[in-house]
Structure 1
Amino acid sequence: MAEERSKKQQPAKKRRTKSPPRQSTDEKPAAKRPKATAKTVNKKSQPKKKKRKQSAVSQKKRPVVAHQSKNPVYTVLFNVVFYGFILIMILGSIAFATTGNTDKSVLGYRFFGVLTDSMVPRDPEKQKGGFHSGDIIIVKNIAGDQAKVGDIITFRPSIKSQAFLTHRVKEKLDHLGDTKGTYYITQGDANLAEDVPINEKQVIGKKVTVIPKVGAFLSFIRENPVVSIIFLISVFGFITIIRYYILNK
């Protein structure tokens, strides 16, 4: 009887191992998995929204890029004109200041520095075209007999003179005493007396225009060429940096 009871008790133990609590433990991870998958789905869906936003922003910026592509054309043209003008002015100033030969001309034009105030007009309404000391005058080469009354001409006081005068023609003569030829009587606008008559061989040219207040600067360049060239290059570089900063700000 004892053996039969033990045999009957053994199947009961096996049945207890197949109890439903294990099934409940198996179902708990299954219930948690959908939650984890839902979170992962939500996490994956979020970057898609960001990409859409970025694409929308990029589409808005496209017209701006297309508009900026036109600007470099105008900036290049402006840079060529701007820097070309500065270089011409600097090189022209250096060429004028460093040359000591006054007989040289560039394309038929000469540059002279004004040292006195003999051409400051006493009557600006009648005496037009005057200038002051420190100015630069540009003189065009002309034939000696082409000047007219009222013109401001540059001439040598004597044929062998290395100095020059620039005064207004007051009279034009076809002879001087018994000597035939073209002669001029000149006078400075600020002077009260006439100059000594000159003949056509002493005439250099006719004043075309005036660059005010540059003579002192050019005379300094002539006396200090190395320092002046370094200074001009530094100024040119400073202007370039400032302009680049303003355009890219």
Structure 2
Amino acid sequence: MVRERSQKQSSDKRQKKKRPPTKQQINDKKGTNRSKPTSKATNRNAHPKNKKRKPNPDSKKTKNVTRHKDKNPVYTLLFNIVFYGFILFMIAGSIIFATTKNADKSVLGYRFFGVLTDSMVPRNPEKQKGGFHSGDVIIVKNIAGEAAEVGDIITFRPSIKSQAFLTHRVKKKLDHLGETKGTYYITQGDANLAEDVPVNEKQVVGKKILVIPKIGAFLNFVRENPFVSIIFLISVFGFITIIRYYILNK
């Protein structure tokens, strides 16, 4: 009896092992297999911030280019020297010219003269270059009396004791005048039809090198109101500096 029962149990185990899976088991397996990729998809969508974005090489190049453009100390230094030097030179020269009444004074070998007449307005601009108008300011460099040449525009005294000055073009340079030896100049204004009286080398003050147009009235105002004008010039200088700083750092 014991042997028969054991044989039945072993046969039952074999039948259980050999039974095919049911439909529910098959569906359950398919459902689990399908649910796995969806869970991965949901996990991917749930954490988009964890994705590592690939760097854009073009953006790095543009950043490097802009930084390279901003960092140019040599160019900035040179620009600042030229910019501030020119403004300071103009302001200082204008103040000195406007506040001094002695025309014999010069600054570093240069003088400022206001033009009162139109004697140097060129009748033929192609040939008569370097002319100027009334209301302009000319900068004259001190030179030796015999250093001027034909074609130069020189500033001279009409007479040795004269306190007034003329600025005309040299037409002729002579090494004597009659029986008197020395350097003499025949000058004439570009707008004039007649020549001036011959000028001795001792009467020559300097040579015109630069014309600043239409600031004669402004300098006359500065001369009449020195303190107000100095404050105004400093304010203009500060305003220009602020505008320049704003434009460069925009």
TM-score normalised according to structure 2 size:
0.68
* Aligned counterparts of 2:50 and 2:236: Cα–Cα separation in 1: 50
Which residue in the other structure is 1:82 paired with?
83
Shift of residue 65 of structure 1?
Answer: 7.2
Q: Report the residue type matching 2:207 in the other structure.
A: K
What count of residue pairs does the alignment treat as equivalent?
203
Which residue in the other structure is 2:108 paired with?
107
Alignment partner of 1:241 is 2:247: no
Which residue in the other structure is 1:12 paired with?
none
* Aligned counterparts of 2:223 and 2:167: Cα–Cα separation in 1: 22
* Aligned counterparts of 1:51 and 1:243: Cα–Cα separation in 2: 46
Which residue in the other structure is 1:192 paired with?
193
Distance 1:68 1:187, change over 3 A: same
Distance 1:65 1:91, change over 3 A: farther
* Aligned counterparts of 1:84 and 1:52: Cα–Cα separation in 2: 56
* Aligned counterparts of 2:164 and 2:50: Cα–Cα separation in 1: 81
Secondary structure, aligned partner of 2:217: helix
* Aligned counterparts of 2:226 and 2:71: Cα–Cα separation in 1: 37
Distance 1:226 1:65, change over 3 A: farther
Shift of residue 137 of structure 1?
Answer: 1.6
Which residue in the other structure is 1:28 paired with?
none
Alignment partner of 1:216 is 2:238: no
Contiguous gaps of at least 5 residues in structure 1: 1-44
Which residue in the other structure is 1:166 paired with?
167
* Aligned counterparts of 1:192 and 1:52: Cα–Cα separation in 2: 89
Per-residue deviation, residues 60-99 of structure 1 (Å, max 9, x unmatched): 9988876665425448424444333322322222222222
* Aligned counterparts of 2:179 and 2:84: Cα–Cα separation in 1: 58
Per-residue deviation, residues 146-189 of structure 1 (Å, max 9, x unmatched): 22222211100111111100111222223323322222221111
* Aligned counterparts of 2:247 and 2:235: Cα–Cα separation in 1: 18
Alignment partner of 1:139 is 2:140: yes
* Aligned counterparts of 1:237 and 1:51: Cα–Cα separation in 2: 53
What percentage of aligned pairs have identical amino acids? 77
Q: Any residues of structure 2 matched to 1:19-168 within 5 Å, and which?
A: 70=68, 71-74=70-73, 76-77=76-77, 78-168=79-169
Contiguous gaps of at least 5 residues in structure 2: 1-45
Shift of residue 204 of structure 1?
Answer: 1.0
Distance 1:200 1:85, change over 3 A: closer
Distance 1:61 1:111, change over 3 A: same
Shift of residue 217 of structure 1?
Answer: 2.0
Secondary structure, aligned partner of 2:182: strand
Distance 1:51 1:239, change over 3 A: farther
Secondary structure, aligned partner of 1:87: helix
Which residue in the other structure is 1:23 paired with?
none
Shift of residue 51 of structure 1?
Answer: 9.0
TM-score normalised according to structure 1 size:
0.68
Distance 1:150 1:220, change over 3 A: same
Per-residue deviation, residues 201-248 of structure 1 (Å, max 9, x unmatched): 111112222222222222222221111111112222222333333344
Q: Report the residue type matching 1:165 in the other structure.
A: L
Which residue in the other structure is 1:175 paired with?
176
Which residue in the other structure is 1:202 paired with?
203
